[in-house]
Structure 1
Amino acid sequence: MIWVILLLAIVAGLAFIRLTPSDASRWHRPIGEAENTDGEGWSARVVPSTPGLLSDLHQGMLALPRTELLAGSVGEGRLTYITRSKMMGFPDYTTIEQDGNQIKLYARLRFGKSDLGVNGKRLDGLLQRVRAKRGEEGA
């Protein structure tokens, strides 16, 4: 009997993680001060802006598996995405923002404390793919 209750609790927890709506007003906010750093459950990158870079980053994010746009647009200058983990469907949020002559990228988890470096790897991979596409050393 205890195993049935435990199994039901696990299924309910996974359903909550997978089905809880994402409130755009909570996640789609200005990034503020940022630098190239990683924290517990989050990562930030700042790169010099070049013409078309925000659009290229947007296309790069949409090309990632299990990623969708939550809010924003290239024209607005800020975009926020949800990327879900393959096995459990845990949501991570990534905001990309044009701020003057910089583009700021901020990725963070919603549930838990550690992302095991996934958000930093996602940002670094995105920047590498966009740089390669553009034929640039630095994007």
Structure 2
Amino acid sequence: MIKLILLGAVFVAVAVAAYIRLAPSDPARWHEDPRLVSRPTTPNFHLIRMVGGDAMPQVFQMAPDALAARLDEVARADGATLLAGSVQSGHMTYVTRTPWMGYPDYTSVLIEPAGAGAMLLAFARARFGRSDLGNNRARLERWIAQLDRPALTD
């Protein structure tokens, strides 16, 4: 009887892990405008916008299309995949996954003109769980820190 219970528990654990890793990501649900989102009630997010965010947007001394292209390069180099939007529109949503369990996090970014430069607004959040252990904030800070650096080359 104990073996059967253990086997059932292992089956459930494998099923949950498979669901977390393989559950489809609906672009209509996850592709959001950081200016318009409501703050989640759970602490598993980081929001960068002018009003009501966790941080103020930084202005970069580059054109909006150049900032969008550079952000796409940085995000993809960090293992993110584009879920929705486009570099051309300056509004993209990326999916990143934790290494071991594959928990998906979604990062929606919007590039806007700011004087002679451009600024990045962003909303990064976890799909599952209540806490992200600060991963969404750390990812955004890592991406932003790399935006002013020279472009990656092959």
Q: What's the TM-score once normalised by structure 2's chain length?
A: 0.77
Of the candidates 19, 32, 47, which is equivalent to residue 44 of structure 1? 47
**Most deviating of 49-58 and 109-118:** 49-58
The unaligned stretches of length 5 or more in structure 2 are 49-56
Q: Comparing 122-131 with 25-34, which one deviates more in the overlay? A: 25-34
- Kindly state the Cα deviation for residue 9 of structure 1 after the two structures are TM-superposed: 0.6
Q: Residue 55 of structure 1: CA displacement?
A: 1.3
Compare CA radii of gyration and give the structure with the larger one. Answer: 2
| 1:42-89 deviations in Å (ceiling 9; x for gaps) | 012322253111211111001113x21101111112000000110000
State the Cα RMSD in Å: 1.7
Quote the sequence identity (%). Answer: 35
* Number of residue pairs matched by the alignment: 129
Partner SS state of residue 150, structure 2: helix
Further displaced range: 11-20 or 24-33: 24-33
Q: How far apart are the structure 2 equivalents of 1:100 and 1:92?
A: 26
Which residue of structure 2 lines up, in the alignment, with residue 80 of structure 1? 93
Tell whether the 8 Å contact from 2:95 to 2:107 is kept in structure 1 after alignment: yes
Give the letter for the 2:104 counterpart: P
Q: Under a length normalisation based on structure 1, what TM-score does the superposition of the two structures give?
A: 0.85
Aligned counterpart, 2:54 = none
For the residue of structure 2 that corresponds to 1:106, the secondary structure is strand
